[in-house]
A and B are shown apart, each in its own frame.
Chain A
Amino acid sequence: MRWSWRKVEETFFRCLMMAAVVLVMLILLWILLTILVRGVPALDWEMVSRTPRGGFYLGKSGGILNAILGSLFLTLGATLAAFVAGLPVALYLTCFRGDSSRTAAFIRTVLDVLWGIPSIVYGAFGFVLMIWLGLRASLLGGMLAVALLILPIMIRGMDEVIRLVPRELYDSAYALGATKMETAFRVVIRQAAPGILSTVLIALGRGMGDAASVLFTAGYTDALPSSLLEPVATLPLAIFFQLGTPFPEVQERAYASALLLTILILVISGVARWLIRRYARQVVR
């Protein structure tokens, strides 16, 4: 059997792809192993059930319940706000504007640019916005900044999945005498529901993991979140502060916090995937 050039080419690229897959898997595994190995020993019930005590950052007792709850409240609030603000925009782009609309194309370009802006810029902008509104670093301020950060992701993501809804489905609804609004809200959204849920999930993950946007806007506190107008702790910043101490036992807890953040996101995506599967049953393929 002779080796033809095409066969060499084929084999070469097959190897290259395998290598890439293996590399990606290794990196993922490495990250998970790191936070597991370093985090699990420091993870105990106190970690998730208590707030920092005096001397927590010096290695004394306490937990990061403040940051867990803070991150949850902040991200859920921001995601909800971005969803509510983003859905009408996505529907406008798809259901109310034709495919050849210049306005829609322009808005999409703007959103793609916004998507690319680093999160620290959203933090800085949120900070300016807060001063302008007379707010100080608070849960509300953090929500605002994170909502802005994930808004482009939310809109463009929903836009893309809604664009996959077949023309004929719109026609079916129109032919029954549905208005554009009724078609959008009762048919298109349902058809796109699995995709919309995945988008929300991606946006939520992005928001929950981001430190830079909440640094100035949410502040940090050892207390549990109590009011929209009080500062609030978040997991990314909890990790940052603990990792920044010179004490190994506190650094261990940073990894435990990272582990908790990961678990939190995994649980949320698990629930969402279950929902997606339920909605996907109804969808026309």
Chain B
Amino acid sequence: MTGEHVIHARDLNVYYGQLHVLKDITVAIPRSKITAIIGPSGCGKSTLLRSFNRLLETMDNVRLAGSVRLGPQDVYAPGVDVTLIRKKMGLLAQRPFPLPMSIYENVAFGPRLHGIRNRRALDRLVEDNLQLTGLWSEVRDRLHTPAVELSIGQQQRLCLARGLAVEPEVILADEPTSALDPQSSRRIEECFRHLKDRYSIVMVTHILRQARRLADYILFLYMGELVEHGPAEQMFNAPRRELTREYVQGVIS
């Protein structure tokens, strides 16, 4: 699929009960780039991320208005198959949560859900995706041991491989390195750099240096509003809004 942008959000408003957490968000996420969502704690970064793949609606007090498109597809259109939407957007959480099964089963879980049964095909998928995240050489001898026995950093890369195995277009990552040691964080960042040619990556981070290192495009959220968005270069060096300047210079946090 082509087109310069992969996700379009339009007039997105989200409420938790009475709490208005996202206000009139209209933004387009560039394709095959790393986009970072930055902003102070509680400003709605995770909420925005979870509104893209409709994970928000698994909570029971949420209300959402507005629209999100993934490529040409309206994510919230009535009658769309939500599982197919979610499949197109891999999720990486703050802390890795491997499924309670073996390393192999973790990666094969998604493909199996979507109908791949052939053992050889699954073997290939498992190997390829573990390769992509640099985990293959570390775990090839213990594919059938429980995934929870891996180190936290390895678990996070396994979760990434698991998400990649269903061939998403987008990777949504919510502070994917905040539970990891510096070494493991660096490996995740490396993965992202390699992957961005094939996938569009949207990551939440509150580490400004990480955003500087990785991001091509930046969204700055403040108290539920999208204050400014633009290429990383511009956002860090010549922001248009005073609030953005103060935030990227660490005056406010």
Contact = CB atoms under 8 A, between A and B. Distances in A.
Interface of A: 98-101, 166, 168-179, 182, 186-187, 190-191, 193, 281-285
Given A168-B95, A282-B148, 6 more contacts: A169-B100, A170-B58, A176-B90, A178-B113, A179-B83, A282-B146
A169 B86 contact: no
A283 B99 CA distance: 8
A285 B95 CA distance: 11
Interface of B: 53, 55, 58-61, 83-84, 86-87, 89-91, 93, 95, 97-102, 109-110, 113-114, 146-149, 159, 162-163, 166, 172
B95 A176 contact: no
A145 to B, nearest CB: 35
The 8 closest A-B pairs by CB, nearest first: A98-B60, A177-B87, A175-B91, A176-B110, A177-B83, A282-B100, A190-B100, A191-B100
Nearest to A281: B146
Contacts of B55: 171, 174-175
B148 A285 contact: yes
Per DSSP, chain B at the interface is mixed
Contact of B60 (A99, A171, A178, A285): A99
Contact of A177 (B60, B86, B98, B101): B86
Contacts of A193: 100
A187 B100 contact: yes
28 contacts: A99-B60, A100-B60, A168-B93, A168-B95, A168-B97, A169-B97, A169-B99, A172-B93, A172-B99, A172-B162, A174-B55, A175-B53, A175-B91, A176-B110, A176-B163, A176-B166, A177-B83, A177-B86, A177-B87, A177-B114, A177-B166, A178-B113, A182-B113, A187-B99, A282-B102, A283-B100, A284-B98, A285-B148
A188 to B, nearest CB: 9
Given A100-B60, A100-B61, A285-B148, A172 B91 contact: yes
Nearest to B110: A176
Nearest to B109: A176
Contacts of B101: 190, 282
Given A100-B60, A168-B93, A283 B86 contact: no
B166 A284 contact: no
A175 B146 contact: no
A176 B86 contact: yes
Contacts of A178: 83, 113
Which of A176, A186, A190, A285 has the most C-beta atoms of chain B within 10 angstroms of its own C-beta? A176
B162 to A, nearest CB: 7
Given A166-B97, A168-B93, A98 B59 contact: yes
Contacts of B166: 176-177
B157 to A, nearest CB: 14
Contact of B99 (A98, A101, A173, A179): A173
Contacts of B172: 175
Contacts of B58: 170-171, 174
Contacts of A282: 100-102, 146-148
Given A169-B99, A283-B148, A176 B59 contact: no
Contacts of B89: 175
A38 B172 CA distance: 68
B97 A172 contact: yes
